[in-house]
């Protein structure tokens, strides 16, 4: 078990003048309040905060951070309170512990909307003080190291998957790659043990030959660099198993086709030496042009700098080489922690603050995003960037996600520039707004006063900020239109019932009615009447309960057509909140079937359209027009669903498929398959199925046909 003296010695190594009194006091307090508690491993609970504090000292953090590492669980797991922490260790420590405690109480194994809310809290805590998330990452790392002590496989897999989904990307985005890699490797072992062991065995095969290869290449690199009188160190390393697996998966490769299982790193003194070494290596071995990346000239958003090149090595095999300075290597290992001063009271410099400005951007997007699922989508975009680097008209370098457009750039500069963006020039020539920016592009934006965003922009913008601002603008326009329509509907309905809508509009009764319907303002209430979520007759019932509203046709009934026949009511299998006999349509874009998570969208004149949650078109909806819908417990009839198939082209394939579908009572509605030159057949066919379970059973059966390589829902 790590000892407190080891941690203090480590602090003195990187900061000889450190005042470690707060660390000593935190250790004594943590030992006292955790006394008698045990870990699943059987060790005293104190072993965990000691390990967390040790990881933080390896990250060379300040003494307050390390003290908080020792205290991070005391509020959650003992009788201690935040007030106790503030009284004993100060306000700074109390704020950090409060942030860590909030994150620790989150559960990511919930519905997506709740998950989005939880991640919101994490991002907000991270923006308030970055040390909160650094401590949480250290906590998650030690918990991952001891994950094997959990007895339930399901729980181990859930925690490991949560680590891959949330904590590993945050570690990467903060540039702390050693934590990212260890979290991924451990989580891969628990989420997919079969593939982990398979890759481990494949890597260990011919290991002696590989070690000899590494030794020879390292000596060659040393000779090349030293011959030019440059001081360097050279390392050879195996790629992590998870990284190999991801590459095999994303590029559909066999293990033998992954050429850069071994990578080499050259560490030098200065930036000019890095470029000189690059030239020497390229003159010795042939480089592969599209595999060269200059992250020194164009650093990654988290501050990572290095030269990456892939060359055809001494045995005709491709090998990856990274070249960087010692300072760059420290940042590559520690990320933002390398910038975090261990000296008390010193803040991050402007350059570092700009490097990690994406955290504040997430907070800004959170404030303007009303829909938690939209916020979660923006977080995913910002946590998994593949950046391009472009030049502004003044020569400033900006980075945007791969696939970003001039509209994304315009919104990055300012919201109004984005709203008024009417055109763009790339390298002096006009391009369409959906043009995908490339590294090295020089961009100019043309604005036009009075110009406004188009809903079509949502189909091609890539950044969370652009999506959020465009949706915000569209929502405001629709709200204005819906308020106008709501007033018109109310005036007609009230007039038919001999009531004066305009007199009642500004009365206390109307304000009370808005509250009764759970709206903050009367305008919100009127807008929802315009959307079709509330009828004018419902409002009359609140304002004048003694009046018996006349159920004559209103503009609302024209906007929301009813079913023509009663039998249709049972056929659709949908329950709509607060509305009866409404015309129901199913989105052809996503083809929902019973068992899918669904949402409804109120359309003018065409009833309610049902989409699967997560459907691209559903995500573009104005949230105010969405309405809660659900499947009936038993939905009669069949539902069309499109499947994608890739298979080896062989005689009798269609007969085998038809036989399976016949056994499973799934009818083929449409089929469109094409033969390829490589003796493969691929395409789509549409089946009529009862529900999601029926579909899953059909797919499982089809997968058992030897010739079929891929079969999945389109």
Mean pLDDT of 93-118: 64
**Rounded Cα distance, 490 and 492, in Å:** 5
Find out whether 465 and 365 touch, Cβ atoms under 8 Å. Answer: yes
The CA-atom distances, in angstroms, between 120 and each of 188, 539, 546 are: 26, 36, 46
Tens-digit pLDDT profile for residues 231-282: 999 988 877 888 888 888 777 777 776 766 778 999 999 999 999 999 999 9
**Rounded Cα distance, 685 and 670, in Å:** 5
Structure-token match 């001891």, residue found: 146
- What pLDDT sits at residue 517? 86
**Rounded Cα distance, 181 and 648, in Å:** 37
- What tokens does 387 get? 């950046």
- What pLDDT sits at residue 54? 94
- Clarify whether 76 is annotated catalytic: yes
- What pLDDT sits at residue 345? 47
- What pLDDT sits at residue 553? 43
DSSP state of 239: P
4-199: CATH topology is Hypothetical protein af1432 (1.10.3210)
- Name the catalytic one among 24, 43, 58, 77: 77
Structure-token match 């960087």, residue found: 324
Tens-digit pLDDT profile for residues 133-172: 889 899 999 999 999 898 888 889 888 988 887 788 888 8
- Tell how far CA 240 is from the center of its chain: 22
**Rounded Cα distance, 66 and 51, in Å:** 11
- What pLDDT sits at residue 185? 94
Structure-token match 């300012």, residue found: 414
- The DSSP line for 477-502 is HHHHHHHHHHHHHHHHHHHHTT--HH
Between 249 and 328, the higher pLDDT residue: 328
- 200-334 in CATH: which number? 3.30.460.10
- What pLDDT sits at residue 213? 84
Find out whether 383 and 173 touch, Cβ atoms under 8 Å. Answer: yes
Bridge partners for 402 per DSSP:
none
Between 402 and 325, the higher pLDDT residue: 325
pLDDT band at 47 (very low <50, low <70, confident <90, very high): very high
- What tokens does 476 get? 């405001």
- What tokens does 670 get? 């449409």
* Residue 584: φ, ψ to 5°: -115, 135
What residue segments make up the domains of the chain, in order of their start?
4-199, 200-334, 471-553, 568-631, 639-713
Neighbour order of strands in the sheet with 608-612: 584-586, 608-612, 598-602, 626-627
Ranking 421-425, 576-580, 611-615, 648-652 by mean pLDDT, the lowest is 576-580
Neighbour order of strands in the sheet with 639-648: 667-675, 680-689, 639-648, 708-713
Bridge partners for 560 per DSSP:
none
pLDDT band at 21 (very low <50, low <70, confident <90, very high): very high
Q: Is 70 helix (H, G, I), strand (E, B) or coil?
A: helix
Tens-digit pLDDT profile for residues 178-212: 899 999 999 999 999 998 898 888 887 777 777 88
- What pLDDT sits at residue 142? 94
The CA-atom distances, in angstroms, between 273 and each of 225, 236, 282, 310 are: 9, 20, 14, 18
Mean pLDDT of 75-102: 88
User: At 311, which helix (H) or strand (E)?
Assistant: strand 307-312
- What pLDDT sits at residue 104? 65
pLDDT at residue 459 greater than cutoff 70: yes
Find out whether 416 and 275 touch, Cβ atoms under 8 Å. Answer: no
Of 387-396, 558-567, 634-643, 699-708, give the range with the top mean pLDDT. 699-708
- What tokens does 88 get? 């004993």
pLDDT band at 385 (very low <50, low <70, confident <90, very high): low
β 608-612/584-586 pair status:
parallel
- What tokens does 504 get? 């009642």
Of 428-432, 557-561, 582-586, give the range with the top mean pLDDT. 428-432
- Clarify whether 580 is annotated catalytic: no
Structure-token match 């100060």, residue found: 90
- What pLDDT sits at residue 340? 52
**Rounded Cα distance, 378 and 703, in Å:** 35
**Rounded Cα distance, 417 and 62, in Å:** 41
Backbone conformation region of residue 303, classed left if phi is above 0, alpha if psi is from -120 to 50, else beta: left
Q: Is the pTM of the predicted complex or chain greater than 0.95?
A: no
Structure-token match 């890739």, residue found: 646
Find out whether 469 and 419 touch, Cβ atoms under 8 Å. Answer: yes
Structure-token match 């590993």, residue found: 168
DSSP state of 206: T
pLDDT at residue 324 greater than cutoff 80: yes
Find out whether 273 and 241 touch, Cβ atoms under 8 Å. Answer: no
Find out whether 108 and 161 touch, Cβ atoms under 8 Å. Answer: no
Tens-digit pLDDT profile for residues 461-497: 988 788 888 888 887 887 787 888 888 888 888 888 8
Mean pLDDT of 24-42: 91
Find out whether 421 and 408 touch, Cβ atoms under 8 Å. Answer: no
- What pLDDT sits at residue 67? 94
| CATH superfamily entry for domain 639-713 | ACT domain (3.30.70.260)
Average pLDDT over the chain, rounded to an integer: 80
- Name the catalytic one among 6, 9, 35, 76: 76
pLDDT at residue 343 greater than cutoff 60: no
- What pLDDT sits at residue 390? 83
Mean pLDDT of 69-94: 91
**Rounded Cα distance, 425 and 244, in Å:** 40
């Amino acid at each position: 078990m790590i000892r407190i003296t080891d941690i203090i010695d480590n602090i003195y190594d990187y900061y000889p003048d450190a005042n470690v009194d707060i660390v000593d006091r935190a250790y004594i307090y943590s030992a006292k309040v955790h006394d008698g508690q045990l870990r699943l491993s059987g060790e005293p609970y104190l072993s965990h905060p000691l390990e967390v504090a040790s990881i933080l000292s390896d990250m060379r953090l300040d003494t307050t951070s390390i003290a908080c590492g020792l205290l991070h669980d005391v509020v959650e797991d003992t009788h201690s309170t935040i007030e106790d922490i503030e009284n004993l260790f100060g306000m700074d420590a109390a704020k950090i512990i409060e942030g860590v405690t909030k994150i620790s109480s989150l559960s990511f194994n919930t519905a997506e909307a709740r998950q989005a809310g939880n991640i919101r809290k994490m991002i907000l805590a991270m923006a308030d003080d970055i040390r909160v998330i650094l401590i949480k990452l250290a906590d998650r790392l030690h918990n991952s190291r001891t994950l094997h002590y959990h007895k339930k496989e399901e729980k181990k897999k859930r925690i490991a998957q949560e680590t891959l989904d949330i904590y590993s990307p945050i570690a990467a985005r903060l540039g702390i790659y050693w934590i990212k890699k260890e979290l991924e490797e451990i989580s891969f072992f628990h989420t997919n043990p079969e593939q982990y062991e398979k890759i481990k065995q494949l890597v260990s095969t011919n290991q002696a030959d590989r070690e000899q290869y590494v030794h020879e290449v390292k000596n060659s690199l040393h000779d090349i660099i030293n011959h030019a009188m440059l001081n360097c160190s050279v390392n050879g390393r195996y790629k992590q198993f998870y990284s190999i697996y991801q590459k095999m998966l994303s590029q559909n490769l066999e293990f033998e086709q992954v050429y850069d299982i071994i990578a080499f790193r050259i560490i030098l003194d200065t930036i000019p030496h890095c470029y000189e070494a690059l030239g020497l290596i390229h003159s010795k071995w042939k480089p592969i042009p599209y595999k060269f990346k200059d992250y020194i000239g164009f650093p990654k958003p988290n501050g990572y700098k290095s030269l990456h090149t892939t060359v055809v090595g001494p045995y005709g095999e491709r090998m990856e080489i990274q070249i960087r300075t010692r300072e760059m290597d420290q940042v590559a290992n520690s990320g933002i922690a390398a910038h975090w001063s261990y000296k008390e009271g010193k803040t991050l410099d402007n350059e570092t603050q700009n490097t990690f400005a994406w955290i504040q951007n997430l907070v800004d997007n959170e404030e303007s995003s009303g829909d938690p699922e939209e916020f979660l989508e923006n977080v995913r975009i910002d946590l998994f960037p593949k950046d391009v680097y472009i030049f502004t008209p003044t020569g400033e370098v900006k980075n945007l996600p791969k696939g970003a457009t001039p509209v994304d750039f315009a919104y990055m500069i300012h919201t109004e520039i984005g709203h008024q963006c009417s055109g763009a020039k790339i390298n002096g020539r006009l391009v369409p707004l959906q043009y995908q920016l490339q590294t090295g592009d020089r961009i100019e934006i043309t604005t036009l006063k009075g110009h406004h965003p188009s809903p079509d922009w949502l189909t091609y913008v890539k950044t969370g900020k652009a999506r959020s601002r465009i949706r915000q603008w569209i929502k405001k326009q629709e709200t204005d239109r819906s308020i106008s329509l709501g007033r018109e509907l109310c005036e007609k309905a009230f007039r038919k019932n001999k009531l004066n809508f305009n007199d009642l509009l500004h009365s206390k009764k109307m304000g009370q009615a808005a509250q009764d319907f759970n709206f903050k303002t009367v305008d919100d209430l009127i807008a929802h009447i315009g959307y079709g979520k509330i009828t004018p007759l419902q409002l009359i019932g609140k304002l004048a309960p003694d009046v018996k509203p006349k159920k004559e046709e209103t503009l609302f009934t024209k906007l929301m057509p009813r079913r023509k026949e009663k039998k249709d009511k049972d056929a659709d299998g949908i329950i709509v909140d607060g509305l009866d006999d409404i015309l129901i349509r199913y989105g052809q874009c996503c083809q929902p079937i019973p068992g899918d998570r669904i949402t409804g969208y109120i359309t003018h004149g065409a009833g309610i359209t049902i989409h699967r949650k997560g459907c691209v078109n559903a995500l573009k909806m104005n949230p105010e027009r969405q309405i809660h819908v659900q499947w009936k417990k038993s939905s009669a009839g069949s539902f069309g669903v499109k499947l994608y198939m890739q298979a080896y082209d062989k005689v009798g394939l269609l007969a085998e498929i038809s036989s399976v579908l016949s056994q499973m009572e799934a009818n083929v509605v449409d089929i469109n398959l094409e033969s390829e030159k490589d003796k493969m057949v691929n395409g789509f066919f549409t089946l009529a199925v009862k529900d999601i379970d029926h579909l899953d059973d059909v797919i499982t059966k089809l997968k058992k046909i030897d010739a079929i390589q891929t079969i999945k829902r389109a």
